[in-house]
Each structure stands twice: as C-alpha cells, then as structure tokens.
Amino acid sequence: MFLTKRNAFLLAFLVNQAVAQTKPAPFVPSREYLKIAFRRAEMLDSTARKSVYKTTVSANWNPDGYSFWYVNRLAGDKQEYIYVDPGRGIKREAFDAGKIAKVLSELEGKRVLQDRLNIDEMYFLEGGSNLQLKNKGKWYLIDLTDYSFVEAKLPGGERYKDSRPLQYSRPRWEDPKRDSVSADQKWVALVKDGNVFLKEKNGTEVKQLSTDGTAAIPYDALSWAPDGKTIVAWKVDERKEKEVHLLLSSVSGTTRAQLKSRPYAQPGDEFTSYEMNLFSPETRSHIKPSVEKIDFFGAPELHWRNASSRYFTYEKVDRGHQRFRVIEVDALTGKSRNIIDEQTPTFIYEQRIYTHYLPKTAEIVWISEKDGWRHIYLIDERTGKQKQQITRGNWVVRGIDSVDAKKREIWFRASGMNPDEDPYLIHYYRIGFDGKNLINLTPEKGTHLVRYSPDRKYFIDTYSLINVAPVTELKRTSDGRVIMRLETADLRDLEKLGVKAPVPFSAKGRDSKTEIYGIACFPTSFDPDKTYPVIENIYAGPQDSYVRKDYSAYSEMQSLADAGFIVVQIDGMGTANRSKAFHDVCWKNLADAGFPDRILWMKALAAKYPQADISRVGAYGTSAGGQNAAGALLFQSDFYKAAVASCGCHDNRIDKQWWNEQWMGYPVGPHYDQQSNISNAQKLRGDLMLIVGEVDENVPPESTYRFADALIKANKDFDFLMIPGMGHSDGGTYGRRRKRDFFLKHLHHVDIPNRDESKELSVSGR
C-alpha cells in the first residue's frame, strides 16, 4: 500500500496508542484505599514485628562455661526454654514446663502458666540434671529428676555471660586528677595553689615541685610512672565551653516557659589545652618535654613500656583530623619521637582509630586506611617500623573482636572479602600476626552477628539478609565447624499478614565503576500495571553506612510504601565502610550527600522496574538526613520534587564541633557557608516540610529556625511543624503521619481522609 501522508499520520497515531496502552498508568490512591491503608499501617506497626519468632538466640551460659540455655518467644506471647550442651551435641527442652510451673506457682503463691514462665535468672548444674533459679530475690535448687526444691545460694556469683565482640576502640583520655598515688602506695602527688607538690601518703610534710603554675593556668592532671621515678603532670589552660539554649514552652505546673542552657562546642570554638611536664620526686627536677601541647581532646592515657621503663607513649589526634600520632617520650631526658605518624590530605576517622598495646613484646596492633582500605598492621614500638601488614585487599576491617598475644592471633570482623556478595555483609575471621592462616568463621552468605562462649571455645552465629530470614547456628571456634543448628526464624504468622520484604538492588555510581547498594520497598498491593512515586529515606552522614543488611520484619519504609509509594534507601559515596576513596567524597563536601550516585541508582531502578515513576521523587530524613532531605530541593531540585526534613543540621557551623570538624575540616572556612542550607535557602524549588523538636539536645533547634527564617526572607513557601517537648526525633508518631500525608498531597495530589474516617474501617478484605 502506498504510504500517503494521511496513512502515515494514522499509523503513527495507532502506534502511539498501542504504546500508551502498554505503558503503566499512574497509580492514584482513592480515599477508600487510603482509609484502609492507614488503618492497616496502624495495625502492622504494632503487630508485624511481634509476628516473627526464633530470630535470635540470647544464650545464658551455665557455671560449667560451655552449656547454656535460652528462651524462644512464640506466638501468643508463649515461651519455650531450650538447654544446649555443645560437648555432647545435646539440644533439648530445658525441663518439663508443666512441673516447673507447679514449682513456681507454689513459690509465687499464685498460678503460673507453663507457657508463660517468665524466668530471667537460672542456671543448670550437674550436666543439666539440676536447676538453680531466682524467684522473689531468693535462689532455689530444683532436682529435675523429681522436681523437688530447696532454697540455696548461687555458687560463684552471676558471672556466666557470653563474650561479646568488642567495638572499635579510640584514643583513650584520662580524667584529670589532682591527687595521684604512686604504685607502691607510699607517695602522693597533688596540686595546691595551681602547682605540683609531693608528700608521703601518711605524712604531713609537703614538698613543692613546680613554681610556674597559676590560678589561671594550673597543673591539673597528674600520673605516676610504674617505678615511681617520674610524675607526669599537665599544665591546663582551660577554655570554658560556650552554651546553647533551649526554650521549653509547655512545662507542666507553670504558666511560664523555661530556659534550659548547657555547654555545647561548635566548629571553630576554642578547646582547653594541656602542656606536658615531667617531675622527678628524687631530684625534684622539672623537665618540659619536646612535645606539642594537646589542644584537642583531653590529657591522654600513658602507655609505659614496662614497669621499670623510662619510656612511655601516648596518642595525639591533631585538630582537623588529618594527623594521628603515637608519640614516645623519654621520661629521663624529655626527648620525644613519633612511633606512628599518620597524615592525610583528607581526614583520619578519629572515632575508628584502633590501637592495642602489647607491652611484653613492645608491639602495637593498629588499624589504618593508609593503603586505601581499612586494615590491620603490626608496629614495632621500639623502632616505629612496620613489622607486618596483617590484612590486605580491597575489603574493609570492620572491627577487632580480640587480640590473643599468646597465640599471636587476631579475631576480627570484615566486609567485602567475598567478591560475589554485597560488600557490606559482615563476616567474622581469625588470622595470625604474620598475616597467615586466615580462617573465615562465618562463610555462609548473609550478614553475621556472633556471640562467643565465656571460654571462646564455641560461638553462636546468627546470619540473615534483608529479605532472607535469620538462621542461628552453634559453631566451634577452632575451625568454624557447625555443631548444630539452633533455630530458623518462624515467619508463618508474618506471611499471613501479607507483608512484603524489601528488595535489594545495586547500580553503578558516578564513576561508572563502583557499585552502589540499596533497597526498595514496594506496596503490599503493588500493581505492575501502575506507576508509583519514589521516596528516598536519606541519611548521608559519613560516620557509617545505613542500608540495613540483616532481616527486618517490618519498617516505617514499608508502612509508607503501603500508602502508595516505592520507598528506597541507598548508601551513596561519602558514607563509610567501603574504600577510603569512596569515603573521601564527603571531605569538606557534605552538601554532595552522594546525590549523583543516588540519582543514578534510582534511574537504574526505574529502568528495571518501570513502575517507579522518577518524575515524582521525594526524600525524607532526620538529623544529618534532615540536612540531606532539604539539600535535595536546594541542590538537586531537577530530580527531587518534595522533601520532609526533620531536626536537620542545616548549617554545619551550628551543629556539634566533634562531628562537623571531622568531615568539614578545621579551621572553619568559606566552604561551610557555601554548603549551608540556610545560606542557600533562596534556591529552594519543590515542596518542603520542616519538622523540629523544641528540646532537641543533639542538633540545636535554631538550626531549623534559622533555615525557616531564611526561607521566609527569600519569600519561599514551606510547611513547618515544631513539636513542643520533643527532643531529637523525626516527630514521633504524629510527625510520621504528617510526613506521609505531606507526600500524598504533593506527590500523589490527593485529598487525605481524616483519621476518624479511617478508624471506622476494618482491615479485612484488603
């Protein structure tokens, strides 16, 4: 057929019609849909998390050190008690619950149900044949062969706790002491009239060691060498911390508002400084070592090489977070040298500095990112030279669980070692000081949480994924071998509620190489033939990563999704737990907030799931997330259209010093102003809601008030919710409801049914 202009136009029209019919249409929640969704959300908020059982095992270890018991919470608030003996491979019901209920009923003087025993403190003895439990403050010994009982004392005290993995250590700072007693308990160093004095502990004669102390700049932190030959004293130039103020408007018992003031250091504020001084009690000599003043944090803990040594070390973090040192001082001469001297053009994450001192071998176990990834190093304390890089590779050490100096082994947590996994999943390992004999104690796919037996011969490993229910296994620490499976989570009641699990998703970031990870929550009544607005739950604080990796039965994200949205969460560049380069994106650049990665991730999600309508994108967040959510409409308004910002740090000069200088640097420069939401208020495009708690003691409320003031002066429209009496929060139940309604109004453009209407409806039939 000859294609005339008319026929060509008709063909194009028919093709466009066909495409329009196959393209998902926007989902528009009706009032009836929303009434049911609101009521269902209220119901699930209180019931969903209680509908999952056997998700964890909290072991209670018995006096033998290796057997233990735990309790499972079951449907209907019922309980079951389990006894485990790893050595004999036994897992069984801990006792006859009916007979124990009779014993407890007699002790209580009232009926106790066998499936609700509510026993918190008990121990099994004699291989599990005897039970000792506490009731009304008294301990009873029960013979489990006949369930006879007598009052008894608890042998050995309450000492049978599991061995929990340690958290990151950081430089340790001593509390200033005016009086310090020598190791042999004979002498006391003390401060009087700003100077250092010495006297016998039980004597009255006082000898003056310093003369340069004053009331304005006194000596105020003293400590002795182990051998008693040196007193280390710090001359303290104190700076009073400036205050911030809160106005409490709704205080019961008075018609007046109350002012609450407290110290609160902000970026650029001055700090108290500490100058090291050394005194010899024998010669009364006074030496000022060749070291800088401590002008950041307090007087540091001293590490003496041994009891008779004249050498000690201490740690110093320079203000600005770009230099960390372990400094050695010769107490006899005052000479010093750097044992560890780490410097970086960006930042050293001070809160995750880890050092462990091994005085018998004069070694230091140290974690550093100096090769671009967080790894463990062994340092010779005498020479300052690196003896061994213990771990290496394109993965991250997440923490040290223990250091075994005798076996020369380190037990640690790490993520990213398995190339076929999400790099944030945590596994547990053991390795030698020489970097050899690496053992993966938790090879199963998932993110793991481990608890050790008191003697660390066994451990309990719970692992899961965000969409895969937890499994808990008992393992042997020598080789990680599974002894028995303890529990698999029971999700049957949750499945009856129809709750959907989050969907993990990843996509390439701004460099087209690095994988960015996140999750998406879809509506329970998801219709693949409809499109839904996308809302990002955003928090770009550089101190951690935030997308949950372990199993979650229900969340606010899912509750919001069920109102008719696709709700996502993403860890963009600038957050922690990846490479140093990944993290460095945040340096003096918090306004970036990983937005380029987040936007690419959502575009990739929409390519895979065309139901995600990225022409209607919102964001919400709290604290640093509040700063990010508002920043989305200031700096990325071509993509984000609506935002709810709760108690945001809208200007990094207003927030706490230690957090903001860590990432924005010191001294405070023009970049603080350039990245301030307040300074950029005139750039607002889109619909914004601000929420703030009146008594926020984390981020001063004036951060939000000043942002609101700047928006008003720029003639910008926005919603504002201040909640009297509330602290650092997203607004609580009321604030979350207002947030949901705000997004329904501005992304769905629908009228919101009032709460009374939705309460009248049952959730049945949805």
Q: Evaluate if residue 6 carries a pLDDT over 60.
A: no
Q: What is the 3-state secondary structure (H, E, C) of 60-81?
A: EECCCCCCEEEEEECHHHCEEE
> For residues 503 and 468, is the Cβ–Cβ distance under 8 A?
no
Please give the pLDDT value at position 46: 84
Place of tokens 């380190």: 410
pLDDT tier for residue 157 given thresholds of 50, 70 and 90: very low
Query: In the predicted model, what is the mean pLDDT of residues 712-723?
Result: 98
Q: How many helices (H) and strands (E) does the chain have?
A: 13, 43
> For residues 194 and 214, is the Cβ–Cβ distance under 8 A?
yes
Please state, rounded to an integer, the average pLDDT across all residues of the chain. Answer: 92
Please give the pLDDT value at position 652: 98
Higher pLDDT, 552 or 156: 552
Please give the pLDDT value at position 759: 55
Nearest CA-CA partner of 356 in 395, 313, 319: 313
Give percent of the chain above pLDDT 90: 85
pLDDT tier for residue 19 given thresholds of 50, 70 and 90: very low
Please give the pLDDT value at position 743: 98
pLDDT tier for residue 570 given thresholds of 50, 70 and 90: very high
Please give the pLDDT value at position 397: 98
Q: Evaluate if residue 179 carries a pLDDT over 80.
A: no
Peptide bond connecting 26 to the previous residue in cis, omega within 30 degrees of 0: no
Rounded-to-integer distance, Cα 694 and Cα 676, Å:
21
Query: In the predicted model, what is the mean pLDDT of residues 589-612?
Result: 98
pLDDT tier for residue 49 given thresholds of 50, 70 and 90: confident
Query: In the predicted model, what is the mean pLDDT of residues 80-97?
Result: 96
Query: In the predicted model, what is the mean pLDDT of residues 365-392?
Result: 97
> For residues 651 and 703, is the Cβ–Cβ distance under 8 A?
yes
Please give the pLDDT value at position 308: 80
Q: What is the DSSP letter of 697?
A: S
> For residues 534 and 518, is the Cβ–Cβ distance under 8 A?
no
Please give the pLDDT value at position 65: 85
Higher pLDDT, 203 or 653: 653
Q: Evaluate if residue 45 carries a pLDDT over 60.
A: yes
Q: Give Cβ neighbours of residue 2 (< 8 Å, ≥ 6 apart).
A: none
Place of tokens 């201490």: 314
Long-range CB contacts for residues 36-41, cutoff 8 Å, separation at least 24:
36/758, 36/761, 36/763, 36/766, 37/562, 37/563, 37/564, 38/563, 38/753, 38/755, 38/758, 39/758, 39/759, 39/761, 39/762, 39/763, 40/562, 40/763, 40/766, 41/559, 41/562, 41/563
Nearest CA-CA partner of 48 in 737, 558, 761, 563: 558
Beta-sheet strands, E only, within 623-752: 642-646, 687-693, 719-723
Report the SS3 class of residue 719.
strand
Q: Evaluate if residue 15 carries a pLDDT over 60.
A: no
Report the SS3 class of residue 558.
helix
Long-range CB contacts for residues 377-384, cutoff 8 Å, separation at least 24:
378/433, 379/326, 379/339, 379/340, 381/305, 381/313, 381/328, 381/339, 381/357, 384/328, 384/337, 384/338, 384/339, 384/340
pLDDT digit string (tens) for 288-313?
999 999 998 889 999 998 878 899 99
Q: Evaluate if residue 402 carries a pLDDT over 60.
A: yes
Nearest CA-CA partner of 565 in 721, 745, 717, 754: 745
Q: Are strands 612-622 and 530-537 parallel, antiparallel or unpaired?
A: parallel
Please give the pLDDT value at position 766: 33
Place of tokens 């499994």: 471
**173-242+270-299: CATH class:** mainly beta
pLDDT digit string (tens) for 90-137?
999 999 999 999 999 999 899 999 999 999 899 999 999 999 999 988
Q: State which H helix or E strand residue 141 sits in.
A: strand 138-143
pLDDT digit string (tens) for 192-230?
999 999 999 888 899 999 999 999 999 988 999 999 999
Query: In the predicted model, what is the mean pLDDT of residues 255-266?
Result: 96
> For residues 329 and 276, is the Cβ–Cβ distance under 8 A?
yes
Q: Evaluate if residue 3 carries a pLDDT over 70.
A: no
**Whole-model pTM?**
0.92
Rounded-to-integer distance, Cα 345 and Cα 325, Å:
15
What is each CA distance from 681 to 32, 153, 694, 718, in whole angstroms? 38, 68, 22, 11
Question: Which of 38-42, 358-362, 676-680, 753-757 comes out lowest in average pLDDT?
Answer: 753-757
679: amino acid identity, one letter: S
Query: In the predicted model, what is the mean pLDDT of residues 426-446?
Result: 97
DSSP letters along 515-533, please?
EEEEEEE--TT--TTEEEE
Q: Give CATH for domain 25-48+498-759.
A: 3.40.50.1820
Please give the pLDDT value at position 66: 86
Distance, first Cα to last Cα, the chain: 53
Nearest CA-CA partner of 644 in 603, 580, 690: 690
Rounded-to-integer distance, Cα 738 and Cα 735, Å:
5
pLDDT tier for residue 327 given thresholds of 50, 70 and 90: very high
pLDDT tier for residue 756 given thresholds of 50, 70 and 90: low
Nearest CA-CA partner of 105 in 136, 131, 78, 130: 136
Domain parsing of the chain, residue ranges: 25-48+498-759, 60-151, 173-242+270-299
> For residues 152 and 159, is the Cβ–Cβ distance under 8 A?
no
Q: What is the DSSP letter of 744?
A: I
* Encoded tokens for 645: 């910002």
